[in-house]
Amino acid sequence: DDIKIGYINKMGEHPWFVAEVGGAKKAAEAAGATFVSQDVQFDSNLTITTFDTMVGDGVKGIAIVVPDKALGPVIAEKAKAAKIPLVAVDDDIYYQDGTQVPYVGMNAYNIGARVGDELAKLYKAGGWASKEVRIASIEDRKADTCMQRNKGAGEAFLKAVPDFKPANILRVPYDNTMVNAIDVMTTTLTANPGVTNWIFYSCNDDGVLGAARALENAGYAPDQGMGIGIDGSRACEAFGSGKPSAFRGTMWLNSANHGALAVKILLASIKDGTKLPVQSFTDPEYITADNFASDYKAKLCH
Amino acid sequence: MQSDFFSLDGISKRFGVVQALDNVSIAFRPGEVLALVGENGAGKSTMMRILEGVFGPDTGTVRHGSTPIVFGEPRDSHRAGIRVIHQEPEIVPNLTVAENIFVGELPRLAGVLLDWRKLEEQTDRVLATFGMQQDMRPRQLCGTLGPAQRQMIEIMRAIRAGGRLIAFDEPTSSLTDDEARRLFSVIRRLREEGTSIIYISHRLNEIIDLADRIVVLRDGRLVDDSPAAGASEQTIAKLMVGRGIDDLFTRETWRSGEQLLDVAGLTTDRVSDVSLRVRRGEVLGIAGLMGAGRSELAKAIVGYDRRIAGTIAMNGVPVLPNSPHAAIVAGIGFAPEDRKHEALLLFRSILDNAALCVPDKTSSFGFFNRRKALEIVSPLAAKMSIKAPNLDEQVSKLSGGNQQKVVLARWLARQPMLLILDEPTRGIDIGAKAEIYRLIDELAASGIGIILISSEMPELIGLADRVLVMAGGRITAELSRPDIDEATILKHAMPQSAPSPGDHIQ
Amino acid sequence: MNSLELRASKAQTDPRGAFTRLVERLGVHNISLLVALAILVVIFGSLRGDVFFSSRNLLNIGLGITILGVLAMSQTVVIVGGGLDIAVGATVGLTTVSTAMAIQATGSPAAGIVAGLVLGGLAGLVNGIIITYGRVNAVIATLGTMAIFRGIAFIMSDGQSIAIFSDTFRFIGIGRILGLPLLVWILVLTAIVFHLFLARSIVGRNIYALGGNPVVARFSGININRYRVGIYIMSGVAAGLAGILLAARTGSGQPVSGSQGLELEAITAAVLGGCALQGGKGTIVGALLGVAIIGVLNNGMILTSVPTFYQLLAKGSLLILAVVIAEYHLNRT
Amino acid sequence: MNSLELRASKAQTDPRGAFTRLVERLGVHNISLLVALAILVVIFGSLRGDVFFSSRNLLNIGLGITILGVLAMSQTVVIVGGGLDIAVGATVGLTTVSTAMAIQATGSPAAGIVAGLVLGGLAGLVNGIIITYGRVNAVIATLGTMAIFRGIAFIMSDGQSIAIFSDTFRFIGIGRILGLPLLVWILVLTAIVFHLFLARSIVGRNIYALGGNPVVARFSGININRYRVGIYIMSGVAAGLAGILLAARTGSGQPVSGSQGLELEAITAAVLGGCALQGGKGTIVGALLGVAIIGVLNNGMILTSVPTFYQLLAKGSLLILAVVIAEYHLNRT
Ligand SMILES: Nc1ncnc2c1ncn2[C@@H]1O[C@H](COP(=O)(O)OP(=O)(O)OP(=O)(O)O)[C@@H](O)[C@H]1O
Ligand SMILES: Nc1ncnc2c1ncn2[C@@H]1O[C@H](COP(=O)(O)OP(=O)(O)OP(=O)(O)O)[C@@H](O)[C@H]1O
Ligand SMILES: O[C@@H]1[C@@H](O)[C@@H](O)CO[C@H]1O
Ligand SMILES: [Mg+2]
Ligand SMILES: [Mg+2]
């Protein structure tokens, strides 16, 4: 009979989630299931309301990207009470006793660490050792997953470049938007007039592309900066013009795969009682100016 | 009715259960001053609004000659040459005097910009016509003007545009005699130029002075339309009210008791070193020209304005702290002159407004008790013949005079020991005026002290035991019966006789 | 004719007596809101009647609007008094964090409730003092304290969300009494208290006077400073209650999620309910109807699974349509 | 002696004559804002004087406030006229997307600019019509269209950000003329136009009348409906300009990022600049000073590297302090 799957996500307007929900929907429809989704705009209260409403509407399983990890126990408890399977996507959540809710997504710290490794490679290859270099860690302290990614990037870089002084990593707060990244980075550049070369990383492409734009606007040459983004949502903008830029690469995660996978394992569990795997990670693909046009342009640009 | 000018033909207008106008027909004539009189709520302002196109009549037509005209918006009637000066002046507080007078027809520079120089010239000219150059500057913001000056703005705005029919809805109710005289000469000049004038006022002496023809409305019906020649205040009053009004200013008793209010050395930003005393049962009049500081003195006494120096005591007990609340607790009541801005909650009911200062008497356990409130307010409303369908009517819908009665009802409900009345009969019809005078007499007789601030000399002369004259924020004279007369008051009210308050404060 | 004799007789002679009396009692605006609400119910009912009218779904709607309902009512009081409290969402964030921290520290739900209400009241006191004695425009003042309260909530929690493990406390969020969720009971009780307070009590009536014309209020002996401060304290305590409910519902305290943007929603509901931002006008019943309209909209759109982007479109259009219908109805009456 | 003569004569004999005249010209409120601004400058100047006063940093401040500046000015006009435009941030999002799409489709920057301005104007027209002829309260109406415009922007862009590869267009965002960034030129020019419009033009003065006292406006023959619609169209076109600048600055069009919350910031700046939400009051100079205060605050806090959570605290407190100082100053004058 007709199976209905519910999908709750925290930020429906972000390209990441647009793709993720799209992937989930396609997977559900391919399997002949009905699919309903709701964007809760980071609102934990609306998340609960939506969960209740979907259960009331008769969904047989729910995938959720929680706006706040602390909601985990409550959501998990509710799913248990409603006797439906639950999958956490992107952000991991736990039962009150500490056991993990089945998870599909990435490892935020590890992805950050890959950014740090790649930056270290670029740094060593760039012959910057003699220059006045600073790292800008563009971060949104309010977002836990963001802080994990930046932490990974910073630690991996320092491990690969042991003589880089940790004090030369500047923490630049931004509000997760590209415009704000431009503003804060512009001011940071002005505040450090002696610094000739900049390395930067951030929670996502918005922060890194914003920083690259700030350098560009302030008259820095593309080779005076290097930044690597995460999520690939701005890859088309960054590489599409084909010009050299301080935006050197991004760790693209195909969020559509997350959505699709979450739905697949939910359906398997509902139809055949297959046990939900505790963790399913997807690996990022590293996009650079070199492989963009050949491998990604068609996929990422409209 | 045949006429080749504007006329009203069988106009009726109803608001809910109130028949504001009932089949009224009037023909206006160029070069004539037509006085429109009637009690509060008789329908005068309603007629003006129909004439100006604020709303349409239920039945009947406005005509020009034999052509019926329909005004969708006031600008249509303006185009036809009709202008109305409204009873309640409307100004834009953050625009200058000049802009307020010329709003809608500001002179242009290069098609889009405001030509300030020209505007200032035009304004100077208008101000000169009214002898107002001393009272306001073209670039002064209107928000800083008092009620009288606002009224003058309203008048100048309507007149500067010209017009074949100009209606004045109680233009003098907040003006002093001097300004009123200047207004009259303007009106006479307009009449000579062939303008048709409608003049509404509760000051019957003005009517007799000015009018060529008098039309009387009662309960929305036209009860008389006849030449002014030979009319007297008595005959007009009789037609208005339906009965004779005699002895407007009689007081039954002139017997004051022990000391009640003692103000010593009171000084605020606008009042300097005022000392005065009021006894129980005494009516203390306060006279002065516009801007003399009388209202400011009242606000100082009730603790509304910040006190810089001086003491106030009731029955020998200091009134502290300096706040209206403390004043009310000490037994002082105050009915301000500007009812729209300082006295009334326009969008609340008569009942709510009248019960505002007696929460203790209209509540049980902290909750409003409608029955109790009605028991207090209904008799007062009846006594003052407040004209409204019921006590739940929004105050904004009442006629001007009836609004004033609601303010008085509030204080009668409170029964203070001392009552300060600032221009209490402004805009009140002659019948109601007599009521208020009787009320003042009654209150005084019952031992309440009264401070009566008024610009109407006969009122002060007829009612006050003593009169203080103010000028420039100071008291310039104290007169006692029988020395209270117009000439003496005026002599002391002239501004030259007073040092300016600024000198004192600086 | 003396008008006062009319008072009693009118209602009896009016041919449309019953209807007129109903309109008068509820107010034209509220009737219009009811009409708008009815239209929404018909729309969603016809699309998803099976689920929409189920008692479970109706309770879900009630649960979904509890927090907003409390805030819309307190915001109504603030607006009627001539003010505005934009800091209300941040206050909820602050109190929800402090409630969670207090429970985490002491294990006692009572301590959490006290912490939430007291901190809310304090936040309101700060607003009231800045506005009344610092003479700062209410919009600027509460925009400022909005940032301050949010900053404090972040600093207190170090930006993390704080889990609450007390089942007793969680009962507030999920428990039922006599078949009705506790949250719904709380909404109903708060509504009764707010309505009696604003419409019936002397203090409530004085708040209308204050917002309608502060000069008149002052001349009438109302201590307007004390009233202003009091109103903001009330708003803070209400935000504290909302913060407690949010903590109970989500089982955690978080500085932003669940509380951000609540101020705008509360103001929307209040204005939808008939408040004029100038002050002096508005009712609790209206605010609740405004909240109900928002709640039904949210619920109906989830049920009809309108795609995310079209939800915005639909929500905006329906909001405007509701008012246009209300206005139309109002002009006809 | 009449008080006004007194006042007039006082100005001439006043030893502080020149000062008094300055105060009158600028207005007490603006002077107070200047004082508040000066205090901020002194604080940040003494902490990071080396960098703060560098011409490069001052230009940074200018660049940072261009978009907000345009919106604060147009919002001032709307508020003076007795309205409010909460949809302005969403309109920016919509126009920035349409500008980017137009450039992507045609390759022509001119087409992008036209698309942005026209769509902005249309959005304003919609607001104006709903408010004026639908008789919907401005807050509700623009909250509704905020959702609608955002929805349309999402649907148009399918939630993606749209890259702009035109260097000519990007020049708007990064180019300089006579050493000054083009963005700063645009801000200066817009400011002059807005100031002349509101303070000097007939239409501008009529807008004060409309907002200050609609009764007067109506009786003066001002076509109130046409004015209202016109004001919202103006606001929409200004949002279109802001959207174009945003697209030029970021090199892309995105429905939300960069435009969300702009409405609140614009309203804050306008109110800080002396607008009363009741209407009829406010100036362009004031709005610009309000924007400058916000810009200096943002810049100074990054320079002094205040930690994120404390930035909120500091920002809120400084905002309030600025106004308290202004008020204090104002009461003394
Ligand atoms: N908008 C309205 N709604 C309801 N009733 C109204 C409205 N306007 C006037 N009325 C009623 O119509 C009647 C006539 O009012 P109107 O203002 O014309 O009186 P008036 O003769 O000008 O009195 P006054 O001398 O006190 O100014 C009054 O009973 C008044 O309450
Ligand atoms: N809001 C205000 N701002 C500035 N000046 C004012 C204000 N209100 C009153 N004044 C001034 O204070 C002085 C005293 O005014 P007040 O109203 O007390 O005079 P009054 O004697 O009552 O005369 P009347 O009421 O007949 O105009 C006048 O010079 C007036 O212009
Ligand atoms: O904000 C990030 C987004 O950029 C994407 O990386 C997915 O996770 C969200 O939290
Ligand atoms: Mg009248
Ligand atoms: Mg006076």
Closest residue to D161, CB basis, from A182, A188, A237: A237
Q: Return the beta strands (E) in B65-160 as ranges.
A: 67-69, 82-85, 108-109, 113-114
DSSP codes joined into one string, B370-432? HHHHHHHHHHHHHHTT--SS-TTSBGGGS-HHHHHHHHHHHHHHH--SEEEEESTTTT--HHH
Which chain A residues are closer than 8 Å to D307 by Cβ?
173
Mean pLDDT (chain B, rounded): 90
Task: Report helix, strand or coil for C259.
Answer: coil
Q: How confident is the model at residue B163 (pLDDT cuts 50, 70, 90)?
A: confident
Instruction: Name the residue with the closest Cα to ligand 2, atom 9.
Output: B146
- For atom 4 of ligand 2, which residue has the closest CA? B144
Question: What distance in Å separates the CA atoms of residue A241 and residue A232, rounded to the nearest whole number?
Answer: 16
ipTM confidence: 0.86
State how far the alpha carbon of B357 is from the alpha carbons of A99, B140, C80, D16, in Å. 65, 36, 19, 45
Q: Please give the interface size between B and D, counted as residue pairs whose CB atoms are below 8 Å apart.
A: 91
Non-local (6+) Cβ contacts of D145 within 8 A are C316, C320, D87, D90, D123, D126, D127, D130
* In chain C, % of residues over pLDDT 90: 65
Give the separation between CA D257 and CA A180, rounded to whole angstroms.
9
Burial grade of B499 (CB within 10 A; 0-12, 13-18, 19 or more): middle
Subunit contact D201:B114, Cβ cutoff 8 A: yes
Q: Which atom of ligand 1 is nearest to the CA of B87?
A: 27
Mean pLDDT of D194-204: 96
8 A C-beta contact, residue A54 and residue C302? yes
For chain D, what is the radius of gyration of the CA atoms?
21
pLDDT single digits (tens) D16-33: 567 777 777 777 788 888
How, if at all, do strands A133-139 and A169-173 pair? parallel
Q: Where are the alpha helices (DSSP H) in A58-167?
A: 72-82, 108-125, 144-160
Query: Is A210–D307 a contact, with Cβ atoms under 8 angstroms apart?
Result: no
Query: Which two structure tokens, joined as six digits, stand for C53?
Result: 């009218």
Alpha carbon distance B23, B11 (integer Å): 5
Q: What is the spatial distance between Cα D70 and Cα D249, in angstroms, rounded to a whole number? A: 15
Q: What are residue D291's DSSP bridge partners?
A: none
pLDDT for D139 beyond 60: yes
Strands (E) across chain A are located at 4-9, 34-39, 61-64, 86-89, 103-105, 133-139, 169-173, 197-202, 225-230, 247-252, 279-281, 285-288
Give the distance (Å) from ligand 5 centre to CA of residue B289.
9
Is B143 part of the contact surface with chain C (CB cutoff 8 Å)?
Answer: no
Centre of ligand 4 from the C-alpha of residue C221, in Å? 29
- Find the Cα–Cα–Cα–Cα dihedral C315, C317, C319, C321, rounded to 10°: -150
Q: CB-based contact (8 Å) between D3 and chain B?
A: yes
Ligand with the closest atom to the CA of B86: 4
Which residue in D224, D216, D228 sits closest to D83, CA to CA?
D228
pLDDT tens readout for residues D291-312:
999 999 989 988 888 888 898 8
Cis before B482 (ω within 30): yes
- DSSP structure class, residue C123: H
Phi-psi domain of A134 (left: phi exceeds 0; alpha: psi -120 through 50; beta: other): beta
Cα(B41) to centroid(ligand 4), Å: 7
User: What local confidence, expressed as pLDDT, does residue C323 receive?
Assistant: 76
CB B48 within 8 A of CB B166: no
Q: In this structure, which amino acid lies at residue A207?
A: G
CA gap D163, D177 in Å, rounded: 25
Per residue in D88-125, pLDDT (tens digit) is 999 999 999 999 999 999 999 999 999 999 999 999 99
Residue A81 contacts by C-beta under 8 Å, 6 or more apart in sequence?
none
Average pLDDT over residues B241-265: 80
DSSP string of C8-59, one letter each residue? HHHHHH-TTHHHHHHHHHH-HHHHHHHHHHHHHHHHHHHHHHHHHTSHHHHH
**Going by DSSP bridges, is the β-strand pair B213-218/B221-227 parallel, antiparallel, or unpaired?**
antiparallel
Q: Specify whether the CB–CB gap between C244 and C95 falls below 8 A.
A: yes
How far is Cα C81 from Cα C78, in angstroms, rounded to an integer?
Answer: 5
Distance set, CA C77 to CA B346, B363, B367, C193, C200 (Å): 19, 20, 17, 12, 13
Partner-chain contact C220 B368, CB within 8 Å = no
Question: In this predicted structure, what is the pLDDT of residue B503?
Answer: 39
In whole angstroms, what is the distance from residue C73 CA to residue C82 CA?
A: 15
Protein residue whose Cα sits closest to atom 1 of ligand 1:
B397
Q: Residue A248 has what pLDDT?
A: 97
The alpha-carbon radius of gyration of chain C (Å, integer) is 21
Q: What is the pLDDT of residues A102-121, one digit of tens each?
A: 999 988 999 999 999 999 99
Dihedral angle, C-alpha D295, D301, D303, D304, nearest 10 °:
150
- What is the CA B499 to chain-centroid distance, rounded? 29
Confidence label for D326 from pLDDT (cuts 50, 70 and 90):
low
Over residues D62-74, the pLDDT tens digits come to 999 999 999 999 9
Establish whether residue B148 lines the binding site of ligand 2, counting it when its CB lies within 6 angstroms of any ligand atom.
yes
Asked if pLDDT for residue C14 goes beyond 80, the answer is: no
Any chain C CB within 8 A of the CB of B219? yes
Kindly state whether D239 is in contact with chain B, defined as any CB-CB distance less than 8 angstroms. no
Name which of A12, A191, A236 is nearest D303 (Cβ-Cβ).
Answer: A191
CB B421 within 8 A of CB B450: yes
Q: Which of B132, B149, B152, B290 to mutate to test the pocket of ligand 2 (most atoms within 8 A of CB)?
A: B290
From the CA of B294, how far away is ligand 5's center (Å)? 5
Cβ count near A58 (within 10 Å): 14
Calpha distance C175→B343 (Å, rounded)? 51
Residue B57 clears pLDDT 50, i.e. is over it = yes
CA nearest neighbour of A70 among C116, C104, C113, C299: C104
pLDDT digits (tens, 9 = 90+) for B95-111: 999 999 999 889 999 88
Q: Say yes or no for a CB contact (<8 Å) between B342 and C201.
A: no
> In percent, how much of chain B has pLDDT > 90?
63
- Give the pLDDT of residue D30: 86
pLDDT of residue D293: 93
Q: Looking at the predicted structure, is the pLDDT value of residue B401 above 90?
A: no
Q: From chain D, pick out residues whose CB is under 8 angstroms from the CB of C315.
A: 144, 147
Q: Does A206 contact ligand 3 (Cβ within 6 A)?
A: no
Q: How far is the CA of D5 from the centre of ligand 2 (A)?
A: 14
pLDDT at B247 over 80: no
* Chain B: closest CA distance from residue C323 (Å): 22
Query: Among candidates A57, A66, A13, A56, which has minimal Cα distance to A34?
Result: A57
Q: Alpha carbon C265 to chain centroid distance? A: 9
- Substitution target from C86, C320, C321, C327 for chain D, most D beta carbons within 10 A: C320
- Quote the Cα angle for A63-A64-A70, to 5°: 140
Most confidently modeled range among A10-19, B462-471, B489-498: B462-471
Alpha helices in A31-107, H assignment, sequence order = 44-56, 72-82
Q: Which residues contact B420 (CB under 8 A, 6 or more apart)?
A: B298, B301, B302, B332, B333, B334, B335, B450, B451, B453
D10/B95 touch (CB, cutoff 8 Å), yes or no: no
Q: Which of A139, A201, A231 to mutate to test the pocket of ligand 3 (most atoms within 8 A of CB)?
A: A231
- What is the spatial distance between Cα B90 and Cα C148, in angstroms, rounded to a whole number? 42
Distance CA C173, CA C292 (A): 20
The DSSP result for D248-259, as a single string, is HHHTEE-SSTTT
Burial of B456 (0-12, 13-18, 19+ CB in 10 A): middle
The number of residues in chain C equals 333
**Gap between the Cα atoms of A43 and C265, Å rounded:** 13
Length of chain B: 506
Tokens of C312: 């915005």
Q: What is the pLDDT of residue D159?
A: 82
User: B387: closest CA among B204, B169, B218?
Assistant: B218
Decide if A46 and C64 are in contact by the 8 Å CB cutoff.
yes
Selection from B278, B279, B244 nearest residue B258 by Cα? B279
Closest alpha carbon within chain C to A58: C51
User: Among residues 204-263 of chain A, which lie with CB inside 8 Å of chain D?
Assistant: 206, 210, 213, 216-217, 233-234, 236-237, 240-241
Within 8 A by CB and 6+ apart from B480, the residues are B465, B466, B467
CA of A90 to the centre of ligand 3 (A): 8
Residue A39 beta carbon below 6 angstroms from any ligand 3 atom = no
For range A69-91, the mean pLDDT:
93
List of chain B residues whose C-beta atoms are within 8 Å of the C-beta of residue D3: 291, 472, 500
Cβ(D150)–Cβ(D93) under 8 Å?
Answer: yes
Rounded to an integer, the average pLDDT of A21-26 is: 95
Residue B264: strand pairing partners: B311
Distance CA A90, CA A112 (A): 14
Ligand 1 pocket, residues with Cβ under 6 angstroms = B 15, 18, 20, 38, 40-46, 87, 387-388, 397-402, 429
Evaluate: CB of B171 within 6 angstroms of ligand 2. Answer: no
Q: Which residue out of A21, A39, A106, A145 has the highest number of ligand 3 atoms within 8 Å of its CB and is therefore the one to mutate?
A: A145
The pLDDT value given to residue C248 = 95
List the end-to-end C-alpha distance of chain A, in Å, as a whole number. 37
Q: What pLDDT digit, counting tens, does each position of C295-326 carry? A: 999 899 889 888 878 888 988 888 888 778 76
> Looking at residues B54-83, what average pLDDT do you find?
90
